[in-house]
Structure 1
Amino acid sequence: MSNSTTAQTLRLLQRENIELKEENERLQGEVLALREYLRGLQALQQDAQAITSAQNLELFLSKLLYTALKAMDAANGSLMLVDYDTDELVFAVVKGTIQSELRGYRIPKTTGVAGWVAIHAEPLLVGHPRSDDRFYSRIDETFGFDTTSLICAPLLGHDKVIGVIEVLNKFSQEAFNEVDLDLLTILAHIAAEVIERIEGGG
Protein backbone atom coordinates (compact mmCIF):
# COMPACT_ATOMS: atom_id res chain seq x y z
CA MET A 1 0.00 0.00 0.00
CA SER A 2 1.42 3.37 -1.01
CA ASN A 3 1.97 6.22 1.41
CA SER A 4 -0.76 8.28 -0.28
CA THR A 5 -3.27 5.43 0.05
CA THR A 6 -2.34 4.94 3.70
CA ALA A 7 -2.77 8.66 4.39
CA GLN A 8 -6.15 8.68 2.66
CA THR A 9 -7.30 5.67 4.67
CA LEU A 10 -6.22 7.35 7.91
CA ARG A 11 -8.14 10.50 7.00
CA LEU A 12 -11.26 8.45 6.31
CA LEU A 13 -10.93 6.63 9.62
CA GLN A 14 -10.40 9.90 11.48
CA ARG A 15 -13.45 11.44 9.83
CA GLU A 16 -15.55 8.38 10.66
CA ASN A 17 -14.33 8.49 14.25
CA ILE A 18 -15.33 12.16 14.54
CA GLU A 19 -18.77 11.43 13.09
CA LEU A 20 -19.29 8.53 15.49
CA LYS A 21 -18.25 10.71 18.41
CA GLU A 22 -20.68 13.45 17.38
CA GLU A 23 -23.50 10.93 16.96
CA ASN A 24 -22.73 9.45 20.38
CA GLU A 25 -22.82 12.91 21.97
CA ARG A 26 -26.15 13.63 20.27
CA LEU A 27 -27.66 10.37 21.52
CA GLN A 28 -26.38 11.02 25.04
CA GLY A 29 -28.00 14.44 24.92
CA GLU A 30 -31.30 12.92 23.84
CA VAL A 31 -31.17 10.35 26.64
CA LEU A 32 -30.47 13.05 29.22
CA ALA A 33 -33.32 15.18 27.86
CA LEU A 34 -35.69 12.21 28.02
CA ARG A 35 -34.69 11.44 31.60
CA GLU A 36 -35.32 15.07 32.54
CA TYR A 37 -38.72 14.93 30.84
CA LEU A 38 -39.63 11.77 32.75
CA ARG A 39 -38.67 13.41 36.05
CA GLY A 40 -40.77 16.42 35.13
CA LEU A 41 -43.66 14.15 34.16
CA GLN A 42 -43.48 12.36 37.49
CA ALA A 43 -43.53 15.69 39.33
CA LEU A 44 -46.54 16.82 37.28
CA GLN A 45 -48.44 13.64 38.09
CA GLN A 46 -47.79 14.21 41.78
CA ASP A 47 -48.89 17.84 41.49
CA ALA A 48 -52.03 16.78 39.62
CA GLN A 49 -53.23 14.78 42.61
CA ALA A 50 -52.95 17.86 44.81
CA ILE A 51 -55.01 20.22 42.61
CA THR A 52 -58.16 21.19 44.51
CA SER A 53 -59.25 24.55 43.06
CA ALA A 54 -59.51 26.49 39.82
CA GLN A 55 -56.76 28.84 41.01
CA ASN A 56 -54.39 25.94 41.57
CA LEU A 57 -55.47 24.51 38.22
CA GLU A 58 -54.24 27.57 36.31
CA LEU A 59 -50.84 27.37 37.98
CA PHE A 60 -50.66 23.66 37.24
CA LEU A 61 -51.50 24.11 33.55
CA SER A 62 -48.85 26.81 33.30
CA LYS A 63 -46.29 24.41 34.76
CA LEU A 64 -47.45 21.67 32.41
CA LEU A 65 -46.99 23.90 29.37
CA TYR A 66 -43.55 24.91 30.60
CA THR A 67 -42.64 21.22 30.90
CA ALA A 68 -43.76 20.65 27.30
CA LEU A 69 -41.66 23.53 25.99
CA LYS A 70 -38.59 22.42 27.91
CA ALA A 71 -38.91 18.79 26.81
CA MET A 72 -39.28 19.77 23.16
CA ASP A 73 -36.67 22.55 23.22
CA ALA A 74 -39.27 25.03 22.04
CA ALA A 75 -39.85 28.72 22.63
CA ASN A 76 -43.60 29.13 22.28
CA GLY A 77 -46.73 27.25 23.19
CA SER A 78 -50.31 27.55 24.31
CA LEU A 79 -53.10 25.63 25.94
CA MET A 80 -56.52 26.45 24.52
CA LEU A 81 -59.87 25.50 26.01
CA VAL A 82 -63.09 24.99 24.07
CA ASP A 83 -65.91 27.40 24.90
CA TYR A 84 -68.94 25.41 23.78
CA ASP A 85 -71.27 28.35 24.42
CA THR A 86 -69.58 30.36 21.67
CA ASP A 87 -68.01 27.44 19.76
CA GLU A 88 -64.56 29.01 20.11
CA LEU A 89 -61.07 28.08 21.24
CA VAL A 90 -59.79 30.36 24.00
CA PHE A 91 -56.07 30.85 24.71
CA ALA A 92 -56.08 30.03 28.43
CA VAL A 93 -52.34 29.58 29.06
CA VAL A 94 -49.69 31.03 26.76
CA LYS A 95 -45.89 31.10 26.92
CA GLY A 96 -43.49 32.76 24.51
CA THR A 97 -42.84 36.00 22.70
CA ILE A 98 -46.48 37.08 22.30
CA GLN A 99 -47.99 35.55 25.44
CA SER A 100 -49.44 38.82 26.75
CA GLU A 101 -51.20 39.50 23.44
CA LEU A 102 -52.61 35.99 23.05
CA ARG A 103 -53.90 35.27 26.54
CA GLY A 104 -57.70 35.35 26.36
CA TYR A 105 -57.65 35.60 22.55
CA ARG A 106 -60.40 33.64 20.81
CA ILE A 107 -60.63 31.90 17.46
CA PRO A 108 -63.47 29.85 15.94
CA LYS A 109 -63.25 26.21 16.98
CA THR A 110 -63.00 25.17 13.33
CA THR A 111 -59.99 27.41 12.66
CA GLY A 112 -56.39 26.42 12.02
CA VAL A 113 -54.39 23.41 13.11
CA ALA A 114 -55.75 23.75 16.64
CA GLY A 115 -59.29 23.69 15.28
CA TRP A 116 -58.55 20.63 13.16
CA VAL A 117 -57.17 18.82 16.21
CA ALA A 118 -60.18 19.85 18.31
CA ILE A 119 -62.65 18.62 15.69
CA HIS A 120 -60.90 15.36 14.79
CA ALA A 121 -59.66 14.59 18.33
CA GLU A 122 -56.28 13.55 16.92
CA PRO A 123 -52.75 14.89 17.50
CA LEU A 124 -51.06 16.53 14.54
CA LEU A 125 -47.51 17.40 13.48
CA VAL A 126 -47.02 20.14 10.87
CA GLY A 127 -43.48 20.58 9.59
CA HIS A 128 -44.20 23.37 7.10
CA PRO A 129 -47.21 25.33 8.37
CA ARG A 130 -47.38 27.90 5.58
CA SER A 131 -47.79 25.19 2.97
CA ASP A 132 -50.51 23.44 4.98
CA ASP A 133 -54.12 24.46 4.26
CA ARG A 134 -55.06 23.88 7.89
CA PHE A 135 -52.67 26.55 9.17
CA TYR A 136 -54.29 29.80 10.37
CA SER A 137 -51.87 32.56 9.39
CA ARG A 138 -53.88 35.49 10.77
CA ILE A 139 -52.35 35.21 14.24
CA ASP A 140 -48.84 35.41 12.78
CA GLU A 141 -49.85 38.37 10.63
CA THR A 142 -51.69 40.17 13.43
CA PHE A 143 -48.98 39.83 16.07
CA GLY A 144 -45.86 39.76 13.88
CA PHE A 145 -45.04 36.15 14.69
CA ASP A 146 -43.38 33.53 12.47
CA THR A 147 -44.51 29.92 12.91
CA THR A 148 -41.94 27.58 11.35
CA SER A 149 -43.15 24.24 12.73
CA LEU A 150 -45.72 23.07 15.25
CA ILE A 151 -47.33 20.14 17.00
CA CYS A 152 -50.75 20.01 18.59
CA ALA A 153 -52.57 17.44 20.73
CA PRO A 154 -56.19 17.28 21.92
CA LEU A 155 -57.31 17.39 25.54
CA LEU A 156 -59.73 14.49 25.49
CA GLY A 157 -62.49 14.69 28.07
CA HIS A 158 -64.89 11.93 29.01
CA ASP A 159 -67.20 12.51 26.06
CA LYS A 160 -65.73 15.45 24.12
CA VAL A 161 -62.60 17.43 23.35
CA ILE A 162 -62.19 20.10 26.03
CA GLY A 163 -59.15 21.83 24.56
CA VAL A 164 -55.83 21.49 22.78
CA ILE A 165 -52.17 22.04 23.63
CA GLU A 166 -49.87 23.41 20.96
CA VAL A 167 -46.08 23.85 20.82
CA LEU A 168 -44.30 25.93 18.17
CA ASN A 169 -40.77 26.54 16.89
CA LYS A 170 -37.86 24.56 18.29
CA PHE A 171 -34.87 26.64 19.36
CA SER A 172 -32.74 24.52 17.03
CA GLN A 173 -35.06 25.45 14.13
CA GLU A 174 -35.46 21.74 13.40
CA ALA A 175 -38.90 20.29 12.74
CA PHE A 176 -40.76 18.45 15.49
CA ASN A 177 -40.87 14.66 15.29
CA GLU A 178 -43.14 11.79 16.31
CA VAL A 179 -41.42 11.45 19.69
CA ASP A 180 -42.25 15.09 20.44
CA LEU A 181 -45.85 14.44 19.44
CA ASP A 182 -46.09 11.37 21.69
CA LEU A 183 -44.72 13.34 24.65
CA LEU A 184 -47.16 16.18 24.04
CA THR A 185 -50.06 13.72 23.83
CA ILE A 186 -49.15 12.34 27.26
CA LEU A 187 -49.16 15.85 28.73
CA ALA A 188 -52.49 16.60 27.05
CA HIS A 189 -53.97 13.52 28.71
CA ILE A 190 -52.78 14.66 32.15
CA ALA A 191 -54.17 18.16 31.58
CA ALA A 192 -57.56 16.84 30.47
CA GLU A 193 -57.89 14.57 33.50
CA VAL A 194 -57.16 17.39 35.94
CA ILE A 195 -59.44 19.91 34.20
CA GLU A 196 -62.37 17.50 34.16
CA ARG A 197 -61.86 16.59 37.81
CA ILE A 198 -61.79 20.22 38.97
CA GLU A 199 -64.62 21.45 36.75
CA GLY A 200 -66.69 18.43 37.71
CA GLY A 201 -66.21 19.17 41.38
CA GLY A 202 -64.19 16.02 41.93
Structure 2
Amino acid sequence: MSTPSTTLLRFLQEENARLQEENKQLREELAALRDYLDGLRLLQQEARRMTEEADLMPLLDKILYAALTVTDAADGSVLLLDPETEELVFAVVHGVIREQLVGYRIPKETGIAGWVVTHGSPLIVNRPHLDRRFSRQVDEQFGFKTRSLLCVPMIGSEGRIVGAIEVLNKFSGREFTQADQDLLMVMGYIAGSALEIVLNKFEAQ
Protein backbone atom coordinates (compact mmCIF):
# COMPACT_ATOMS: atom_id res chain seq x y z
CA MET A 1 0.00 0.00 0.00
CA SER A 2 1.40 3.39 -1.02
CA THR A 3 1.92 6.02 1.61
CA PRO A 4 1.38 9.74 0.95
CA SER A 5 5.15 10.26 0.87
CA THR A 6 5.78 7.54 -1.76
CA THR A 7 2.87 8.81 -3.88
CA LEU A 8 4.29 12.34 -3.75
CA LEU A 9 7.76 11.05 -4.63
CA ARG A 10 6.42 9.14 -7.63
CA PHE A 11 4.51 12.22 -8.78
CA LEU A 12 7.62 14.40 -8.50
CA GLN A 13 9.70 11.85 -10.42
CA GLU A 14 7.12 11.66 -13.22
CA GLU A 15 6.81 15.44 -13.36
CA ASN A 16 10.59 15.81 -13.50
CA ALA A 17 10.80 13.31 -16.37
CA ARG A 18 8.04 15.16 -18.23
CA LEU A 19 9.79 18.51 -17.82
CA GLN A 20 13.10 17.05 -18.98
CA GLU A 21 11.42 15.70 -22.12
CA GLU A 22 9.78 19.08 -22.79
CA ASN A 23 13.14 20.83 -22.36
CA LYS A 24 14.74 18.38 -24.79
CA GLN A 25 12.04 19.05 -27.39
CA LEU A 26 12.41 22.82 -26.92
CA ARG A 27 16.19 22.59 -27.40
CA GLU A 28 15.71 20.56 -30.58
CA GLU A 29 13.14 23.03 -31.92
CA LEU A 30 15.44 25.95 -31.10
CA ALA A 31 18.36 24.27 -32.88
CA ALA A 32 16.14 23.60 -35.92
CA LEU A 33 15.00 27.24 -35.94
CA ARG A 34 18.61 28.45 -35.82
CA ASP A 35 19.50 26.16 -38.73
CA TYR A 36 16.51 27.48 -40.67
CA LEU A 37 17.50 31.11 -40.06
CA ASP A 38 21.09 30.34 -41.06
CA GLY A 39 19.72 28.80 -44.25
CA LEU A 40 17.63 31.89 -45.00
CA ARG A 41 20.65 34.15 -44.50
CA LEU A 42 22.67 32.01 -46.88
CA LEU A 43 19.86 32.09 -49.44
CA GLN A 44 19.78 35.88 -49.23
CA GLN A 45 23.51 36.04 -49.95
CA GLU A 46 23.31 33.55 -52.79
CA ALA A 47 20.29 35.30 -54.33
CA ARG A 48 22.32 38.49 -54.62
CA ARG A 49 25.18 36.62 -56.30
CA MET A 50 22.89 34.74 -58.67
CA THR A 51 21.13 37.81 -59.97
CA GLU A 52 24.54 39.33 -60.75
CA GLU A 53 25.72 36.27 -62.69
CA ALA A 54 25.61 36.60 -66.48
CA ASP A 55 27.09 33.23 -67.51
CA LEU A 56 25.09 30.02 -67.41
CA MET A 57 27.53 27.44 -66.01
CA PRO A 58 28.88 29.55 -63.11
CA LEU A 59 25.27 30.38 -62.24
CA LEU A 60 24.27 26.70 -62.17
CA ASP A 61 27.30 25.85 -60.04
CA LYS A 62 26.38 28.55 -57.50
CA ILE A 63 22.80 27.31 -57.42
CA LEU A 64 23.86 23.76 -56.62
CA TYR A 65 26.51 24.73 -54.08
CA ALA A 66 23.96 26.81 -52.16
CA ALA A 67 21.39 24.00 -52.34
CA LEU A 68 23.82 21.45 -50.90
CA THR A 69 24.91 23.85 -48.16
CA VAL A 70 21.45 24.77 -46.87
CA THR A 71 20.30 21.13 -46.82
CA ASP A 72 23.56 19.55 -45.55
CA ALA A 73 23.51 17.16 -48.51
CA ALA A 74 26.52 15.25 -49.85
CA ASP A 75 25.47 14.91 -53.49
CA GLY A 76 23.25 16.80 -55.86
CA SER A 77 22.54 17.99 -59.36
CA VAL A 78 20.89 20.73 -61.36
CA LEU A 79 18.84 19.29 -64.20
CA LEU A 80 17.75 21.50 -67.09
CA LEU A 81 14.72 20.81 -69.22
CA ASP A 82 15.54 20.58 -72.93
CA PRO A 83 12.25 21.59 -74.59
CA GLU A 84 13.34 20.33 -78.00
CA THR A 85 14.04 16.74 -76.94
CA GLU A 86 11.69 16.63 -73.91
CA GLU A 87 14.63 15.42 -71.79
CA LEU A 88 16.20 16.42 -68.50
CA VAL A 89 19.94 17.08 -68.74
CA PHE A 90 22.30 16.77 -65.77
CA ALA A 91 23.92 20.18 -66.32
CA VAL A 92 25.89 20.45 -63.07
CA VAL A 93 26.64 17.65 -60.61
CA HIS A 94 28.42 17.67 -57.24
CA GLY A 95 29.42 14.49 -55.46
CA VAL A 96 31.09 11.16 -56.06
CA ILE A 97 29.84 10.57 -59.63
CA ARG A 98 30.01 14.12 -60.94
CA GLU A 99 32.43 13.29 -63.74
CA GLN A 100 30.28 10.48 -65.14
CA LEU A 101 26.91 12.15 -64.75
CA VAL A 102 27.41 15.60 -66.30
CA GLY A 103 25.62 15.73 -69.65
CA TYR A 104 23.63 12.56 -68.97
CA ARG A 105 20.05 12.72 -70.27
CA ILE A 106 16.83 11.12 -69.12
CA PRO A 107 13.25 11.41 -70.46
CA LYS A 108 11.55 14.29 -68.67
CA GLU A 109 8.99 12.01 -66.99
CA THR A 110 11.65 9.66 -65.55
CA GLY A 111 12.31 9.31 -61.83
CA ILE A 112 11.73 11.75 -59.00
CA ALA A 113 13.14 14.71 -60.93
CA GLY A 114 10.85 13.88 -63.84
CA TRP A 115 7.84 13.73 -61.52
CA VAL A 116 8.78 17.08 -59.96
CA VAL A 117 9.22 18.81 -63.33
CA THR A 118 6.02 17.29 -64.72
CA HIS A 119 3.89 18.24 -61.70
CA GLY A 120 5.69 21.45 -60.73
CA SER A 121 5.77 20.34 -57.09
CA PRO A 122 8.60 19.52 -54.64
CA LEU A 123 9.08 16.02 -53.30
CA ILE A 124 10.87 14.47 -50.32
CA VAL A 125 11.66 10.77 -50.65
CA ASN A 126 13.51 9.41 -47.64
CA ARG A 127 13.09 5.76 -48.68
CA PRO A 128 13.52 5.99 -52.44
CA HIS A 129 13.75 2.26 -53.12
CA LEU A 130 10.24 1.87 -51.72
CA ASP A 131 8.80 4.62 -53.92
CA ARG A 132 7.54 3.58 -57.35
CA ARG A 133 8.37 7.03 -58.76
CA PHE A 134 12.07 6.51 -58.06
CA SER A 135 14.17 5.35 -61.01
CA ARG A 136 17.13 3.05 -60.28
CA GLN A 137 18.68 3.86 -63.64
CA VAL A 138 21.43 6.20 -62.40
CA ASP A 139 22.21 4.15 -59.28
CA GLU A 140 22.60 0.93 -61.26
CA GLN A 141 24.49 2.42 -64.19
CA PHE A 142 27.00 4.41 -62.13
CA GLY A 143 27.26 2.30 -58.97
CA PHE A 144 25.69 4.95 -56.75
CA LYS A 145 23.44 4.46 -53.72
CA THR A 146 20.61 6.93 -53.14
CA ARG A 147 19.58 6.74 -49.47
CA SER A 148 17.33 9.80 -49.42
CA LEU A 149 16.56 12.69 -51.72
CA LEU A 150 14.80 16.00 -52.03
CA CYS A 151 13.89 17.56 -55.35
CA VAL A 152 12.28 20.91 -56.19
CA PRO A 153 11.34 22.53 -59.50
CA MET A 154 13.12 25.63 -60.76
CA ILE A 155 10.30 27.99 -61.66
CA GLY A 156 10.76 31.23 -63.57
CA SER A 157 8.95 34.50 -62.97
CA GLU A 158 6.16 33.61 -65.42
CA GLY A 159 5.63 30.11 -64.03
CA ARG A 160 7.83 28.43 -66.63
CA ILE A 161 9.55 25.31 -65.27
CA VAL A 162 13.13 25.36 -66.51
CA GLY A 163 14.47 22.36 -64.59
CA ALA A 164 14.97 20.95 -61.11
CA ILE A 165 17.37 20.95 -58.19
CA GLU A 166 17.96 17.54 -56.63
CA VAL A 167 19.94 16.91 -53.43
CA LEU A 168 20.77 13.48 -52.04
CA ASN A 169 22.09 11.81 -48.90
CA LYS A 170 22.53 14.13 -45.94
CA PHE A 171 26.02 14.09 -44.40
CA SER A 172 24.45 13.41 -41.00
CA GLY A 173 22.55 10.39 -42.31
CA ARG A 174 19.28 12.00 -41.21
CA GLU A 175 16.17 12.31 -43.33
CA PHE A 176 15.26 15.40 -45.32
CA THR A 177 12.64 17.52 -43.56
CA GLN A 178 9.87 19.96 -44.41
CA ALA A 179 12.23 22.78 -43.38
CA ASP A 180 14.77 21.53 -45.95
CA GLN A 181 12.05 21.49 -48.59
CA ASP A 182 10.87 25.01 -47.71
CA LEU A 183 14.41 26.38 -48.01
CA LEU A 184 15.07 24.57 -51.27
CA MET A 185 11.77 25.77 -52.75
CA VAL A 186 12.86 29.36 -52.10
CA MET A 187 16.12 28.48 -53.84
CA GLY A 188 14.14 26.97 -56.73
CA TYR A 189 12.23 30.20 -57.31
CA ILE A 190 15.35 32.36 -57.03
CA ALA A 191 17.32 30.05 -59.31
CA GLY A 192 14.47 29.74 -61.80
CA SER A 193 14.13 33.50 -62.17
CA ALA A 194 17.89 34.04 -62.48
CA LEU A 195 18.21 31.17 -64.94
CA GLU A 196 15.28 32.45 -66.99
CA ILE A 197 17.03 35.81 -67.42
CA VAL A 198 20.23 34.14 -68.63
CA LEU A 199 18.35 31.77 -70.96
CA ASN A 200 16.32 34.62 -72.44
CA LYS A 201 19.54 36.51 -73.18
CA PHE A 202 21.02 33.39 -74.76
CA GLU A 203 17.92 32.73 -76.89
CA ALA A 204 17.85 36.36 -78.05
CA GLN A 205 21.39 36.16 -79.48
CA contact (8 A) 1:110 1:119 kept: yes
Residue 35 of structure 2 aligns to a residue whose secondary structure is: helix
Name the residue aligned to 2:39.
37
How much is the aligned-residue C-alpha RMSD, in angstroms? 2.2
Query: Superposed, which structure 2 residues align to 1:23-172 within 5 Å?
Result: 23-52=25-54, 54=55, 57-157=56-156, 158=158, 160-172=160-172
Q: TM-score, normalised by structure 1?
A: 0.86
Deviation at 1:144, TM superposition (A): 2.3
Q: For 1:149 and 1:183, how far apart are their aligned partners in 2? A: 17
Residue 201 of structure 1 aligns to a residue whose secondary structure is: helix
Indicate the percent of aligned positions where both proteins have the same amino acid.
40
Q: 1:144 to 1:9 in 2, by over 3 A?
A: farther
Structure 1: gaps spanning 5 or more residues: none
Q: For 2:40 and 2:160, how far apart are their aligned partners in 1? A: 28
Deviations 1:143-192 (A, max 9, x none): 22222222211122446421111122233433323332222111111111
Deviation at 1:116, TM superposition (A): 1.4
Deviation at 1:24, TM superposition (A): 2.2
Q: How many residues align?
A: 199
Deviation at 1:91, TM superposition (A): 0.9
Q: TM-score, normalised by structure 2?
A: 0.85
Deviation at 1:114, TM superposition (A): 0.7
Q: For 2:153 and 2:35, how far apart are their aligned partners in 1? A: 24
Q: For 2:8 and 2:72, how far apart are their aligned partners in 1? A: 43
Structure 2: gaps spanning 5 or more residues: none
Q: 1:9 to 1:100 in 2, by over 3 A?
A: farther
Corresponding letter in the other structure for 2:21: E
Of residues 36-45 and 9-18 in structure 1, the stretch that sits farther from structure 2 once superposed is: 9-18
Name the residue aligned to 1:199.
199
Residue 201 of structure 2 aligns to a residue whose secondary structure is: coil
